[in-house]
Structure 1
Amino acid sequence: MHDMLDTICLQNIACSDYKAFSHLYDKYWDLLLSIARKKTGNIDVSMDIVQDLFVDIWQRRSSLPQIDDVRRYLISSLYFKVFMHFRHQGIQQRHVSSYITFGVDEQEEDFLQLLEGEIQHNHLINVIAESVEDMPERMRQVFSLKYHRSLSNLEIAETMGISVQTVKNQLMRSLQHIRNYIPEHLSHPTAFLFLLFLLS
């Protein structure tokens, strides 16, 4: 059952209610930290990832989409944060699953919810990869240099021999391409809202 108080809390956050933000932070910090720690095996890295997640929410508060299941949304967003951490560390996606373990003391309901979220996350990543393959050549190159090799716009421009403005234009179009591609290939509404949050 969805927590309506969480939904109201998120709506208040969108109106810059810091008290509501603090409530959400305090309520879900321990859960998200526990999940992140099981995935990364490092408490300091996990704390940074969870902190970064909440910073993103506050910074994007005015453009947050309508979210019914806030708990699931936060967990899905955390999965992506952890995935990005692994990617930046040079860990291939196929190895990410080896970092995912669940404790035997998990409540069954929580275990099933986390497992379902993991499946949704993996599906989302696969669909994004498909959408990238569907991009025009130059757009795909710019996107890959930005999000796979983490180059700056200037570095991409120098690497490809194009202007920084062209890089910006291609990145904007690539994200729009993904936004347009996702609804046709991903039916789960929570995952779609999660994607909009990440790419907005």
Structure 2
Amino acid sequence: MKKNTTDDVIVWNSFRNGNDEAYILIYRKYVRDLYLQGLQFTRNKEIIKDCIQDVFTKLYKYRATIGETDNIKYYLLTSMRNQLLTTLSKEKIYVDTESENTNSESLFEKNIEEILIEQEENMTLEDKINLIMSLLTDRQKEAIRYRYIECLSPEEICSLMGLNYQSLQNILSRSLKKIRQYVKKDLPE
């Protein structure tokens, strides 16, 4: 068993047994991941924050009866995705992520200097990544994010997105092909 898996089991079981510090640790470690995932579905920051709150409220409320897991991140991403889909369908919100602003605000407090330095360092790279990601469909973006940013296994992604293995491979393959074509075209000769 990997160290992260072992750590997740220990923290998760401690939380399930009533340890509030474990709950806080889980929140602090994964809230940013959930927020970034929310941005894949909508740019409405209030809906994203509400869904995160709902996920953690339910988690706390039902902690004595929830099952075991050896991958907290996967468990929370699945819960967040389900919460977002439920909320968005109830609200009948149809999201066009191509036309919305791609800037995201942080849930974490940073001082002005840190923000300015980070923005300056990441501006060019972020612009290129956003341009490349804009070439992909929403489904391709979601698959790429889970696989290469969240580092989820293909099996976890298939379960999360409701795909079979071959469909996931096709989506990833087409996405990477589009990315390669753009990068190859963008490189100076």
Bucket of the pairwise TM-score, normalised by the shorter protein: 0.5 to 0.7
Asked if 1 retains the 8 angstrom alpha-carbon contact of 2:146 and 2:157, the reply is no
Say if 2:121 is the partner of 1:121: no
Residues 78-117 of structure 1 show CA distances to partners (whole Å, capped at 9, x for unaligned) of 111111012102358xxxxx766749x9696335628765
Paired positions, count: 118
Structure 2 CA distance, aligned partners of 1:35 and 1:114?
Answer: 16
Asked if 1 retains the 8 angstrom alpha-carbon contact of 2:35 and 2:48, the reply is yes
Structure 1 residue 68 displacement after superposition: 1.4
More helix by percentage: 1
* Mapping 1:1-200, distance limit 5 Å: 1=2, 2-90=4-92, 102=141, 109-110=148-149, 113=152, 117=156, 119-123=158-162
Residue 40 to residue 72, structure 1, CA distance change in 2 (3 Å): same
Structure 1 runs of 4+ with >2 Å offset: 98-103, 105-119, 121-124
Which runs of no fewer than 5 residues in structure 2 stay unpaired? 95-136, 164-189
Structure 1 CA distance, aligned partners of 2:43 and 2:21?
Answer: 31
Q: Percent identity?
A: 18
Question: C-alpha root-mean-square deviation of aligned residues, in Å?
Answer: 3.1
Q: For 2:25, what is the secondary structure of its paired residue?
A: helix
Which runs of no fewer than 5 residues in structure 1 stay unpaired? 93-97, 125-200
